[in-house]
C-alpha cells in the first residue's frame, strides 16, 4: 500500500478494517484488481468480513423494528419486460455521464476532495476553465436527477412517463392481461385481487374491504381500468369512475352488494388531507399503497389505523431502484431541503456536494452493477415462475400470513443477499462500458451528446428504435412462418396496424349504426305500445257489443217463440187484466213517490235552514269559546296571583293620597281661620284702644265705659 492509496477518494477497505460508505475491494496491484473484478462478473459473491455480516444483520433487525412500529411492509414483485427495456434505455443514456463521474473521482485525491469545498468559489472566480468544469458537473447532476425520477416512474407504470391525457376508451378497451404486462406492480395487484375474489366466493361473499393508495389520478385510472369487469365493488375517491353502471339493482343484489370485495381508491394527498372518520374506514383488511413513500405517521392514517392496526403493503420490484433504496436509505436532511435549484455559481458548487446527489449517484451505479440479473432472469424464464415460486398457488402464502405481515416482508431477505452493494470502480466501469456502447439493440448511432434539453428526445428515439427492431424481428418470424405458403410476401406490424385501424373504424361505424338502430327500435317500441293500448280498447268495446248482441238474440228468440204459438182469448183477457192492475199500482206508486219527494224537499229546506242557523250558532260559540279561552288564559296568567296584593296596595295608595289631601285642606283652613280671628282681635283691640283714648280729657264720665254697640266678631 502506497501513499496515493491512502489519500485516494476510494481507499481500500483494509485501511479501516471494515466497510465504508462506498467500499472498494482493491488489492495491491492492477492485475489483482482486474482479476477480482472478472471473478465478480462471473457470479462469485464477494466474501464479507465479520464486521459486514454484523452490519447487515443489524440493518435487517432495524428494518424489522421500523416495520413493526410504522406498520409498512414491503412485498417483492417483479419487473415486466417492458419495464426492463425502458430501464436499459435509461441506463444507456446516463451511462456516459456515470463513466465520466467515476473517472473524475478516480483522478482526484482525497486532499483535493477536502480542499474542493473551501476553495471552489475562489477557483470559479479566478479560472474560466473551472467555470466550464463546474457547469459540466452541474449538467451531470441534473441528468442524474432526471434519470432517477424517470426510473421511479417506470417502476410504477411506463404509461406515466407520457404527460398527456389517457383516453377513457383506451383504458376500457384494453384487456386485463395486456394492462398487467405493462407494470410489475399492477401484475401483482391483479393476481392478488383475483385470489381475494376466489377466497371471497369460497367464504360465501364475506365482506372484504381494501384501501388502495396511489400518487395521482392518472395512476388511479390505470388501477381502475385493471379492476373493471371483476366481481367487486369500488369507489374512486380521487375522480369520477371510468364506467358507471346505471342498471337497476334487484333487492337480492342490493342485499348482496354489502358483501364481497370492496376497493376504495384514493390519492396520497387526499388521504393525508381528509380524515377517514367513516364507520367503515376502520375495518379495512389491509392498505395497498402504490406510493412507496407513504407516511404512516400522518394523522389521517393514524386515525384510520387506531381501532384496527391494518398492515400497509407496498409493492417493490426486486433489483429495481426502489429495492436499492431500501438497502441504501436516503440521507437525513435534518429538517432542511436538500434539493438545490442552480441559480448562480454558489448554488452550482452546493449542488456538487449535496449528500442527496451523491446518494442518487450511488444508487444509479449500484443499479448498473446489478443490471445483469435482469438479463439472466429473462433468459431463464424466471419472471413467469416468480409469483408461483414466491407466493404459491393463488397467492396462498400471502393470505396465510396476512395476519403476520412481517413474514411477507421477510421474503426480501433472499433477494437482498443476491444484491451486489460493494464493488470496485473497475467493476463499475466494466458494467457501464457494457451497457454504454455505440451499438444498442443492434445498430444505433447517437448523433449528439446527451443534455438536459434533449434528454426526453433521445429517450424517445431509443424507444422508437427498439420498437422498429421488434417490428423487424416479428417480420422475420412471420416471414419464416409464411414462406412456404406465400413465398416472399410478408405482413409487418405496419400492415397489421392499418388492418387494426380499419377494424376500429368499422367498429366505430357499427357503433353509430347500432346507436341509430337503437333510436329507431325505441320509436318502434313506443308505436307498438300505442297500438297495444288501442287494441285493448277495441277488444273491450268488442266484448261489450258481443254481450249486447247476445242479449238481443235472446229477446229475438223469445219473440219468435211467442209469435210461432197461437194465443187464446182467455189468456189475452187475463194479461190485459194484469196490465190494468199493474197500471193502477204504477199510478199509486207514482203518487206515493211524488208525496215522498215533496216531503223530502220540505225536510231538505228545513235542514238547510237549521244547518245554517247551526253554523251561525257554532261560529258564535267558537267566538265565545275564544273569548273564554282568552279570559281563562288571563286568569291563569302569573299576574293574577299578584292582583289582590296590587289592588290592596293601590287602595292604600289612593286612601293615603286622599288623607294627605284632607290634611293639607284642614291645615289650610286652620291657618285661614286663625288669621281671620287674629285679624278680628287686632281690629277689636284697636277699636277699644281708640275709644278709650278719646275720653281721657273729660272727668265727668268714667274711663272704663263700654260702648253699647255690639262688638264686631
Q: Say whether 90 sits in a helix, a strand or coil.
A: helix
Together in a domain, 634 and 665: no
DSSP state of 12: B
- Secondary element (H or E) of residue 288: strand 286-289
Sign of dihedral through CA atoms 639, 640, 645, 648? positive
- pLDDT confidence band for 23 (50 / 70 / 90): very low
The torsion angles phi and psi of 707, rounded to 5 degrees, stand at -70, 150
**Mean pLDDT along residues 498-514:** 86
- pLDDT (tens digit per residue) in 79-94: 988 888 899 888 888 8
Lowest-confidence segment of 4-18, 76-90, 645-659 by average pLDDT? 4-18
Q: What phi, psi does 530 have (nearest 5°)?
A: -65, -45
Q: Which helix (H) or strand (E) holds 289?
A: strand 286-289
Q: Is residue 196 part of a domain?
A: no
Q: Where are the beta strands (DSSP E) in 606-677?
A: none
Cβ neighbours of 213 (radius 10 Å)? 23
pLDDT tens track for 424-471: 888 888 888 877 654 454 444 455 778 888 888 888 888 888 888 877
Cα within 13 Å of Cα(358), Cβ side: 10
Same domain membership, residue 634 and residue 650:
no
Look at residue 244 and tell me if it is in a domain.
no
Residues 579 and 615 in one domain: yes
User: Is residue 395 one of the residues assigned to a domain?
Assistant: no
Question: Do 602 and 619 share a domain, yes or no?
Answer: yes
Phi, psi of 140 (to 5 degrees): -60, -40
Q: Hey, how many other C-beta atoms are within 10 angstroms of the C-beta on 328?
A: 15
Say yes or no: 616 and 656 in one domain. no
DSSP structural state of residue 411: T
For residue 226, give every residue at least 6 positions away whose Cβ sits within 8 Å of its Cβ, in sequence order, or none.
176, 179, 180, 186, 189, 190
How many residues in total does the chain contain?
A: 713
Per-residue pLDDT at 56 exceeds 70 = no
Residue 151 domain-assigned? no
Q: Note the helical H segments in 482-492.
A: 483-486
Which among 370, 432, 422, 418 has a CA at the least distance from the CA of 24?
422
Please state, in angstroms and rounded to a whole number, the distance separating the CA atoms of residues 541 and 662: 106
pLDDT-based confidence at residue 34 (cuts at 50, 70, 90):
very low
Q: Give pLDDT, residue 351.
A: 58
Residues 579 and 634 placed together within one structural domain of the fold: yes
On whether residue 590 sits in a domain, the answer given is yes
Which structural domain range is residue 590 located in?
575-638
pLDDT tens, residue by residue, 306-361: 888 889 999 999 989 999 999 998 887 654 455 555 545 455 555 566 788 889 99
User: Taking the mean position of all CA atoms in its chain, how far away is CA 34?
Assistant: 56
Whole-number pLDDT of residue 127: 43
Q: How far is CA 115 from CA 137, 141, 341, 553, 596, in A?
A: 17, 20, 23, 129, 133
Cβ atoms of residues 348 and 412 within 8 Å: no
Helix-strand-coil percent breakdown of the chain, rounded to 5? 70, 5, 25
Which among 505, 502, 477, 503 is positioned nearest to 491, based on CA atoms?
Answer: 477
Task: Identify the band that residue 58 occupies on the pLDDT scale cut at 50, 70 and 90.
Answer: very low
Q: Is residue 557 assigned to a domain? A: no
Confidence of residue 11 (pLDDT cuts 50, 70, 90): very low
Alpha-carbon span 236 to 219, nearest angstrom: 12
pLDDT at 316: 94
- Say if residues 132 and 186 touch (Cβ distance below 8 Å): no
657, 609: one domain: no
Q: Is residue 702 part of a domain?
A: no
Integer Rg of the chain from CA:
56
Q: In sequence order, which ranges of 181-267 are alpha helices (DSSP H)?
A: 184-202, 217-227, 251-256
Within-domain flag for 177: no
* Chain centroid, CA 341 distance in Å: 33
Query: Could you give the number of structural domains in the chain?
Result: 2
List strands edge to edge, sheet with 72-77.
72-77, 312-317, 286-289, 208-214, 261-267, 233-236
Residue percentage of the chain with pLDDT more than 90 = 28
How far is 694 from 704, CA to CA, in rounded Å? 12
Amino acid at each position: 500500500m502506497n501513499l496515493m492509496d491512502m489519500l485516494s477518494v476510494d481507499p481500500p477497505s483494509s485501511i479501516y478494517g471494515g466497510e465504508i460508505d462506498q467500499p472498494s475491494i482493491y488489492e495491491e496491484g492492477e492485475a489483482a484488481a482486474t482479476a477480482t473484478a472478472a471473478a465478480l462478473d462471473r457470479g462469485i459473491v464477494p466474501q464479507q468480513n465479520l464486521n459486514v455480516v454484523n452490519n447487515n444483520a443489524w440493518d435487517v433487525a432495524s428494518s424489522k423494528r421500523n416495520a413493526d412500529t410504522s406498520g409498512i411492509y414491503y412485498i417483492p414483485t417483479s419487473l415486466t419486460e417492458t419495464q426492463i427495456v425502458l430501464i436499459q434505455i435509461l441506463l444507456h443514456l446516463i451511462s456516459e455521464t456515470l463513466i465520466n463521474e467515476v473517472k473524475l473521482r478516480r483522478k482526484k485525491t482525497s486532499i483535493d476532495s477536502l480542499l474542493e469545498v473551501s476553495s471552489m468559489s475562489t477557483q470559479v472566480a479566478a479560472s474560466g476553465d473551472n467555470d466550464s468544469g463546474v457547469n459540466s458537473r452541474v449538467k451531470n447532476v441534473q441528468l442524474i436527477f432526471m434519470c432517477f425520477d424517470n426510473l421511479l416512474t417506470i417502476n410504477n407504470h411506463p404509461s406515466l412517463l407520457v404527460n398527456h391525457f389517457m383516453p377513457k376508451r383506451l383504458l376500457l378497451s384494453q384487456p386485463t392481461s395486456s394492462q398487467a404486462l405493462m407494470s410489475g406492480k399492477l401484475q401483482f395487484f391483479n393476481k392478488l385481487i383475483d385470489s381475494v375474489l376466489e377466497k371471497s366466493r369460497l367464504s360465501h361473499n364475506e365482506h372484504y374491504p381494501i384501501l388502495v393508495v396511489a400518487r395521482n389520478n392518472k395512476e388511479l385510472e390505470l388501477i381502475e381500468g385493471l379492476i373493471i369487469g371483476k366481481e367487486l365493488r369500488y369507489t374512486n375517491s380521487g375522480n369520477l369512475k371510468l364506467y358507471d353502471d346505471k342498471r337497476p339493482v334487484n333487492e337480492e343484489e342490493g342485499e348482496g352488494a354489502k358483501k364481497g370485495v370492496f376497493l376504495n381508491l384514493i390519492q396520497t394527498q387526499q388521504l393525508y388531507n381528509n380524515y377517514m372518520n367513516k364507520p367503515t374506514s376502520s375495518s379495512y383488511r389491509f392498505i395497498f399503497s402504490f406510493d412507496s413513500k407513504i407516511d404512516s405517521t400522518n394523522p389521517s392514517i393514524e386515525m384510520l389505523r387506531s381501532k384496527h392496526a391494518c398492515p400497509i403493503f407496498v409493492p417493490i420490484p426486486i433489483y429495481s431502484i426502489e429495492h436499492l433504496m431500501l438497502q441504501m436509505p436516503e440521507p437525513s436532511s435534518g429538517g432542511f431541503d436538500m434539493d438545490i435549484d442552480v441559480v448562480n455559481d454558489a448554488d452550482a458548487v452546493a449542488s456538487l456536494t449535496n449528500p442527496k446527489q451523491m446518494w442518487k449517484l450511488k444508487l444509479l451505479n449500484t443499479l448498473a452493477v446489478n443490471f445483469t440479473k435482469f438479463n439472466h432472469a429473462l433468459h431463464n424464464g424466471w419472471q413467469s415462475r416468480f409469483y408461483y415460486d414466491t407466493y404459491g398457488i393463488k397467492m396462498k402464502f400471502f393470505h396465510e400470513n396476512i395476519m403476520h405481515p412481517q413474514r411477507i416482508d421477510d421474503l426480501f431477505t433472499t433477494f437482498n443477499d443476491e444484491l451486489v452493494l460493494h464493488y470496485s470502480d473497475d467493476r463499475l466501469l466494466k458494467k457501464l462500458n457494457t451497457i454504454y456502447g455505440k451499438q444498442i439493440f443492434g445498430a444505433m448511432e447517437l448523433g449528439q451528446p446527451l443534455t438536459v434539453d434533449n434528454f426526453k428526445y433521445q429517450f424517445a428515439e431509443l424507444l422508437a428504435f427498439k420498437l422498429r427492431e421488434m417490428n423487424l424481428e416479428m417480420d422475420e418470424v412471420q416471414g419464416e412462418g409464411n414462406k412456404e405458403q406465400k413465398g416472399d410476401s410478408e405482413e409487418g406490424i405496419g400492415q397489421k396496424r392499418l388492418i387494426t385501424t380499419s377494424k376500429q373504424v368499422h367498429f366505430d361505424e357499427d357503433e353509430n349504426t347500432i346507436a341509430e338502430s337503437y333510436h329507431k327500435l325505441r320509436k318502434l317500441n313506443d308505436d307498438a305500445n300505442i297500438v297495444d293500448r288501442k287494441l285493448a280498447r277495441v277488444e273491450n268495446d268488442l266484448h261489450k257489443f258481443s254481450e249486447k248482441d247476445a242479449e238481443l238474440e235472446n229477446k229475438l228468440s223469445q219473440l219468435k217463440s211467442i209469435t210461432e204459438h197461437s194465443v187464446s182469448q182467455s189468456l189475452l183477457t187475463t194479461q190485459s187484466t194484469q196490465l190494468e192492475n199493474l197500471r193502477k199500482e204504477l199510478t199509486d206508486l207514482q203518487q206515493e213517490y211524488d208525496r215522498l219527494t215533496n216531503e223530502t224537499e220540505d225536510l231538505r229546506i228545513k235542514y238547510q235552514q237549521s244547518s245554517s242557523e247551526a253554523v251561525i250558532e257554532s261560529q258564535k260559540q267558537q267566538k265565545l269559546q275564544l273569548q273564554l279561552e282568552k279570559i281563562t288564559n288571563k286568569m291563569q296568567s302569573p299576574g293574577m296571583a299578584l292582583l289582590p296584593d296590587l289592588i290592596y296596595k293601590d287602595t292604600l295608595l289612593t286612601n293615603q293620597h286622599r288623607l294627605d289631601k284632607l290634611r293639607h285642606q284642614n291645615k289650610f283652613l286652620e291657618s285661614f281661620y286663625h288669621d281671620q280671628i287674629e285679624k278680628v282681635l287686632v281690629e277689636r283691640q284697636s277699636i277699644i284702644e281708640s275709644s278709650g283714648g278719646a275720653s281721657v280729657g273729660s272727668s265727668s264720665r268714667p274711663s272704663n265705659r263700654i260702648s253699647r254697640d255690639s262688638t264686631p266678631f
